[in-house]
Amino acid sequence: MAMELPRVVFFGRSGSDALRFFDLDLADWSGARILDCPGGPGSLVAVARREGVQAVAVDPQYGLPAADLEKRCREDLQLTMERMAQSAAIRPDFDLEAYGRSKLEALQDFLSDRLAYPEAYLAASLPCLPFENGSFDLVLCGHLLFAYAPRADGGVFELGCFDLAWHQAALAELLRISRRQVRLYPAHTGTRPARIHPYVEPLLAGLPTPWRGHLQSTGYDQGFEGVTPMLLLERGGAD
C-alpha cells in the first residue's frame, strides 16, 4: 500500500535531521534571521539557538497549550509509524523504531525551548504569514509542500486541499518574506520509487524575477528509495 495520511500530522524532526535534509550548515548563516515554516514539534529552532543563530518557527497548532501539543504529537507519530510500517513506499529494512525515538527526543527539545522562548513560536498558516516582505534571510519549509499534495499528484494526503494552486500561493508567500533563500524538503513523491514531485517543474517555471532554483540531493533517509532531493530557491543578485 502506498503511503497515505488522513491529516497533516503534528510531529517534527530533530534539528540535526533538519540540517541534513535542508543541506544546511548553520555556520554559513551566522547573524542571519531564519524562519522554520512549519516548525511542528521539531527542534530546529532550539538547535539553531544553541549554535548562535536566531530562528523562529510558525505552525497553526502553536496556539495550543503544551500538554495538547504533546498529546497530538504522540498520537500523530503513532499513526504515521503504523502507516509507514504498512506502506510499500517505505523500505522494509528502514529502522522505524529509531525514527520514532528521534521524533520523541525532538518533541522534548521543542517543549523545553518553547517554554523558555515562547516568542520564537508563532501560530500562523500558509498561505498567509504575519511577516513583512523580506523579514528573513532564509525560509525553511519541511514536510508540508509536496509531501501533502493529493495522492493522485504524488503526495501522501488523502484530502485534495493542497493542490497545485495552493502550492503556488504558499510558495509565493514563502518567497515574499525571504531576502535570500527558501529551501523546501522533500521535493519528491511519496511513491516507490520516489521521484521528483510533479509540482516542482510548474513551481520553478512560475518563479518571479529575480528568483531562481534548483534541486539538490541530501544525505537524509526516511525510508524512501529513489530520488529524494530538496528544492533550493535563491533571490538572484542578493549575495
| Minimal distance, residue 210 CB to ligand SAM, in Å | 26
Q: What are phi and psi of 164, to 5 degrees?
A: -60, -40
111 sits in which H/E element: helix 96-116
Positions in 25-44 near ligand SAM (CB under 6 A): 38-40, 42
Please enumerate, as own/partner, the contacts of 128-132 that have beta carbons within 8 Å and a separation of 24 or more: 128/173, 129/37, 129/58, 129/173, 129/177, 131/35, 131/177, 132/177
107 binds ligand SAM (CB under 6 A): no
| Minimal distance, residue 217 CB to ligand SAM, in Å | 17
How many angstroms from the chain centroid is the CA of residue 95?
Answer: 21
144 binds ligand SAM (CB under 6 A): yes
24 binds ligand SAM (CB under 6 A): no
The residue range among 54-62, 87-95, 186-194, 227-235 that interacts with ligand SAM, by the rule CB under 6 A, is 54-62
Please enumerate, as own/partner, the contacts of 163-171 that have beta carbons within 8 Å and a separation of 24 or more: 164/199, 164/202, 166/127, 167/199, 167/203, 168/202, 168/203, 168/206, 169/126, 169/127, 170/126, 170/127, 170/144, 170/145, 171/145, 171/203
183 binds ligand SAM (CB under 6 A): no
142 binds ligand SAM (CB under 6 A): yes
143 binds ligand SAM (CB under 6 A): yes
Comparison of 103 and 237: residue with beta carbon closer to ligand SAM: 103
Number of residues engaging ligand SAM in binding (CB under 6 A): 17
The residue range among 94-102, 130-138, 139-147, 219-227 that interacts with ligand SAM, by the rule CB under 6 A, is 139-147
| Minimal distance, residue 64 CB to ligand SAM, in Å | 10
| Minimal distance, residue 239 CB to ligand SAM, in Å | 25
168 binds ligand SAM (CB under 6 A): no
Comparison of 57 and 200: residue with beta carbon closer to ligand SAM: 57
Q: Among 34, 126, 194, 203, which residue sits at the site for ligand SAM (rule: CB under 6 A)?
A: 126
How many angstroms from the chain centroid is the CA of residue 119?
Answer: 20
| CB half-sphere exposure, 203, CA atoms < 13 A | 29
* Residue that has been written with the C-alpha cell 548562535 in this structure: 52
59 binds ligand SAM (CB under 6 A): yes
Cα separations (Å) of 165 from 28, 37, 59?
Answer: 33, 19, 21
Give contact residues for ligand SAM (rule: CB under 6 A).
8-10, 12-13, 38-40, 42, 59-61, 125-126, 142-144
